[in-house]
Structure formats: structure tokens, C-alpha cells
């Protein structure tokens, strides 16, 4: 029972923290940012542990958390692969110039992005074609999130770019090289995680439902928050379009599965007996 309820409980607290975020400012908002990332990290790693086992959870931490720290430290030191940037001191303790919560953020969204890709490639395709499709979808699903994340965090002053040109239209302050860097690291992360992420589950198995809910909530809430509360309409548009590539097909797939399940339950009902008909 706890395996089913714990992820949902963490998700509920995470959603509450994110709802409070645009209603706060200053140090309170920075604290909520940290709390949200930690909650998301515990949710994703905890789900991997409960649904796939210790090996998968450790692999997720090694690949996403360890890899996330390594690429961020490289980026701060050299400017590759994202471009030159520096973190402020508002996100808590740092190591090698990287706030310790930043690798947790990579892990938080890497896992639901991967499971979304697995769900969308649950087809008869086999072998290299299916593997490539999963890696591509997980890459897009993770990297597109940064179309929301970076403009928001730069606006809050949590980090700054040394040279923010050229930038995407409507998104000043963040160089286009940053998004290319996200794509590059996301594909490396997904390709490394693929053989370590544990088995896919049957479509009728609901153990991954909290992660799908997290991914769809992140998408919908980000569009709403950026468009209305944070006054970042351009990132709402860019992120809404980019993340829709995976979020919309996921929503459609889940709705279809729900309709099919209802139809199957309807056809499985026993026919009325002769006595009942009489």
C-alpha cells in the first residue's frame, strides 16, 4: 500500500509548494524553490526505488544526479556546453560553483521524462528503432522543460549569463546555446539511463501514474504560471510548444487507455441469468 500512496503524497505536497511559489517573493520564494526541487528529487528517486528497485534508483542517482553535477561544474568552469554563466548565492550551498540543488533538479525531471518516453514507445517496434525512439522522446521531454525553467530562474536572479546573445525571440537574457546544451546533455543522459532504467511496465499497470501526473502537471502549471502569474508570456509560449511534443501525446495515450479500460470492463460484465430476465 505504501508503494502506491507515498509517491502520490509527495506529489500532493510538491503541487502545493508550486502553487504557493508565485504568491511569495524574496527569500521565501527562494526557499520554496529549494523545497520544490528537493521534493521533486525525493519523488522521482523514491518512485524509481519503489517501482523498479534499488538498482534502478542508484542508476538514476548516478546518471542524472552525478551527471548533472558534472555537466554543471564543467559549464560554470568552461562555458561548455551551455554558454558562460554564473550562479548567485540564493540557491543555497555550492560546490565547484554549482548549487547543490541543481543536480537534484536534473534528476527530478529526467525520470518522468524517461517514463513518458517509455509509455509513448510501448509499440510492437523492437530493438534499435524502439531504443532510439525512447532516447529521442526523453531528450525532447527533458530539454523542453528548460524553455520554462531558464527564463524563470534568470528573472529571479538565481543565475546570470555572461553573454546572452543570440537569444530566442522573446526570451532575452538566455542564449540559444543554453538550449542546445540541454539537448546535448539530455541525449547523453537518456542514452546512458536506457539500459539501466529497469523494465517497462504493462500499459494496464498503474505504478507509473504518479510520474505521468507529475509530467503533465509540470507542463500545464508552467504554462499557466508563466502566462498569468510570473508575467513571462514568451516562455509560456515557447515552453508550451516545446513540451507539448511529449506532454500532449502522453495525455492522449492515457485518455485512450482509460477509455479502453472502461470498454473492457463493460464487455466483461456477465450476461443476465434466465432467472433475472424472468
Burial class (CB in 10 A: 0-12, 13-18, 19+), 143: buried
Q: What integer best gives the mean pLDDT of the chain?
A: 92
pLDDT of res. 88? 93
pLDDT digits (tens, 9 = 90+) for 55-110: 999 999 999 999 999 999 999 999 999 999 999 999 999 999 999 999 999 999 99
pLDDT of res. 106? 97
Residue 210 has pLDDT above 50, yes or no: yes
For 158: left if phi > 0, alpha if psi spans -120 to 50, otherwise beta; the answer is alpha
Listed by start position, the domains of the chain span 2-263
pTM, 2 dp: 0.92
Residues forming beta bridges with residue 167, ordered by sequence position:
175
Amino acid at each position: 500500500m505504501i508503494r502506491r500512496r507515498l509517491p502520490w503524497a509527495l506529489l500532493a505536497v510538491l503541487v502545493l509548494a508550486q502553487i504557493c511559489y508565485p504568491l511569495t517573493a524574496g527569500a521565501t520564494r527562494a526557499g520554496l524553490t529549494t523545497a520544490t526541487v528537493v521534493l521533486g528529487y525525493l519523488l522521482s528517486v523514491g518512485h524509481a526505488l519503489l517501482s523498479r528497485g534499488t538498482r534502478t534508483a542508484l542508476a538514476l542517482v548516478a546518471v542524472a544526479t552525478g551527471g548533472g553535477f558534472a555537466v554543471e561544474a564543467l559549464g560554470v568552469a568552461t562555458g561548455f556546453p551551455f554558454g558562460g554563466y554564473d550562479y548567485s548565492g540564493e540557491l543555497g550551498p555550492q560546490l565547484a560553483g554549482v548549487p547543490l540543488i541543481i543536480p537534484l533538479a536534473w534528476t527530478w525531471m529526467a525520470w518522468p521524462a524517461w517514463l513518458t518516453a517509455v509509455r509513448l514507445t510501448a509499440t510492437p517496434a523492437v530493438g534499435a528503432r524502439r531504443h532510439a525512439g525512447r532516447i529521442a522522446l526523453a531528450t525532447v521531454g527533458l530539454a523542453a522543460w528548460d524553455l520554462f525553467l531558464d527564463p524563470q530562474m534568470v528573472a529571479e536572479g538565481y543565475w546570470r549569463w555572461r553573454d546572452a546573445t543570440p537569444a530566442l525571440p522573446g526570451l532575452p537574457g538566455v542564449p540559444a546555446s543554453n538550449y542546445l546544451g540541454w539537448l546535448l546533455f539530455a541525449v547523453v543522459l537518456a542514452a546512458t539511463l536506457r539500459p539501466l532504467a529497469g523494465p517497462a511496465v504493462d500499459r494496464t499497470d498503474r505504478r507509473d501514474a504518479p510520474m505521468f501526473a507529475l509530467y503533465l502537471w509540470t507542463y500545464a502549471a508552467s504554462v499557466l504560471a508563466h502566462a498569468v502569474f510570473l508575467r513571462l508570456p514568451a516562455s509560456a509560449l515557447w515552453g508550451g510548444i516545446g513540451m507539448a511534443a511529449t506532454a500532449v501525446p502522453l495525455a492522449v495515450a492515457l485518455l485512450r487507455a482509460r477509455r479502453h479500460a472502461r470498454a473492457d470492463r463493460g464487455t466483461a460484465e456477465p450476461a443476465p441469468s434466465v432467472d433475472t430476465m424472468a
